[in-house]
Amino acid sequence: MSDASLRTPFPQRAHAALEDAHLQEALGIATTKFIGLRKESFAGFPEGEALRDRARAIKEGTLQQLDRHLERLADNIERLGGHVHWAATGEEARDIVLRLCRDKGVRMAVKSKSMATEEIELNEALEAAGVKPVETDLGEYIIQLAHEKPSHIIAPAIHKTKGQVADLFSKELGGRFEADPEVLTAVARKELRQKFLDADMGITGANFAVAETGTIVLVTNEGNGRMVTSLPRIHVAVMGMEKVIPTMTDLMVFLAILARSATGQKLSSYTTLVRGPRQAGETEGPEELHLILMDNGRTRQIAGTLREALYCLRCGACLNVCPVYRQIGGHAYGYTYPGPIGILLTAMLKGAASVKDLAHASSLCGACKDVCPVRIDIPRMLVDLREQLDREKIAPWAERMVFRLARRTMTSPALFRLGASLGRVAQRPFVRNSRLRRLPFFLGKWTRTRDLPPVASRTFSECWKDLERP
């Protein structure tokens, strides 16, 4: 994400999103629709719950032998004529792509949607190196033309209206296009078809990689994943190392729940299994295939508090159900990965300090955990993260003191009683119509948008004592 947007603090970014009437409407419609589609698709699929358990077990099991699975994957890809690169950091992953571009004389690269390349800001790096990156997923293409960032993991341009897209296409591509999704899609098809045929390199992410067969798996609806892995002479896949799974049998378990969780489809239109470059006898396919295995902060979490976030399939289901995401949308989070899982992934990639505000952008309601296809315990990790921010003194001093005081008070009956008595006196100037309003100092943030019930004239335990008496 560009520094400009992060210079504004999170509360302001969130406020701006809340005041954007159009964004509010688009978010409401999109997230509600996705929730409905997901629900419907799992309702007619009783075996889904058991498959989710199995999928989670596969992720757990893979992580326990991650080194072996990665070795196996790399050996198989090399056996099939592909190349494997190991990138400890995002910067290194970027440099590998840039070096390939330089060595192979690449001038244009077509890309299918990939969060991993968003994560390392590959497009900016390619542009700076004189290589033209072209996003080919329709949503990504729209936001690339608009010089914006994706606002949703699987629907990157949900914040734009068809009118805005028509204006954008008219301005950027020359012409006058009707604000009709059908027309606009046809325009993009024509424009991008030529790019697929002309490009030197195709860049993808990977939804999965099957270790035992050396297969890179791409799941798309538009067919752009197939285009970029078939037409250009070089295919480069950038993959977070945790995407490896052991076998084809395992892959089927994930395929059965991934699209259902993301869009409510039984399967996405295209699931593409790529093993190696063009094989002998084939008419098509790239001459070279490169897989870049990327760490970028992931290894640290194998034994860390965010370990479970390594199970994430990037389906976006947790975004749609999150009461915070539904209000503020993806941009306000300020980083590549939005939503509840995005907070954890950001902490993983950029360190806990980068999410000192975002860690609190959750009501801990647990809706994310309920819909997660691999049942990632996001709320628990958010609490762990908040605890870490406190322990490592990253949270502001006042916040840490207030919570420390609260803990002391709550865990000691004597202090609790004293607190209640003091509170009864101290609150007097602020109680109006039996509500606490407009608390002073920083406490005022609490009462700015809601009233608090005052401390009762008699506490529950005092009442209880009376009742116990015969």
Partner 1 sequence: MTSRAEFLGSIRREMARTRGLFEARPVPRPADAGQAAEVVRHQMLERWPQALERFREEFERVAGVFHRVANIGEVPGVIRRIAQERQAQSVLSWDPEALGLDLRQSLGQEGLAVTVAPDRDPDVATRAMHRDAAARAEIGVTGVDWALAETGTLVLVSGRGRPRSTSLLPATHVAVFGHDRLVESLEQVGVMLEALHADPARGMSGAVINFITGPSRTADIELTLTRGVHGPKDVHAIFVETR
CB of 141 to partner 1, least distance (A): 8
Residue 228: both structure tokens together: 């970029």
Let me know: does 110 contact 232? Beta carbons within 8 Å.
Answer: yes
Of 297, 196, 172, give the one whose Cα is nearest residue 240: 297
CB of 458 to partner 1, least distance (A): 48
Cα angle value 357/333/21 (rounded, 5°): 115
| Closer residue to partner 1 (CB): 112 or 362 | 112
Beta pairing class for 244-245 and 83-87? unpaired
Q: Alpha helices, DSSP H only, in 44-137?
A: 48-64, 66-79, 90-104, 115-119, 122-128
| Closer residue to partner 1 (CB): 230 or 459 | 230
CB of 342 to partner 1, least distance (A): 20
CB of 259 to partner 1, least distance (A): 9
CB of 320 to partner 1, least distance (A): 12
Of 382, 313, 397, give the one whose Cα is nearest residue 343: 382
| Closer residue to partner 1 (CB): 171 or 266 | 266
CB of 286 to partner 1, least distance (A): 9
CB of 373 to partner 1, least distance (A): 15
CB of 103 to partner 1, least distance (A): 14
| Closer residue to partner 1 (CB): 73 or 358 | 73
Q: Residue holding tokens 């958010």?
A: 382
At how many degrees (to 10) do helices 10-19 and 21-43 cross? 90
Cα four-point dihedral sign 274, 314, 4, 161: positive
Residue 37: both structure tokens together: 């589609």
| Closer residue to partner 1 (CB): 34 or 335 | 34
SS3 assignment, position 38: helix
The beta-strand segments (E) located in 241-375 are: 244-245, 270-274, 288-294
| Closer residue to partner 1 (CB): 293 or 352 | 293
Tell me which DSSP letter residue 452 carries: B
| Closer residue to partner 1 (CB): 217 or 341 | 217
Of 7, 8, 10, give the one whose Cα is nearest residue 359: 10
Whole-number Å distance between alpha carbons of 465 and 468:
5
| Closer residue to partner 1 (CB): 276 or 338 | 276
Burial label, 404 (beta-carbon count in 10 A; 0-12, 13-18, 19+): exposed
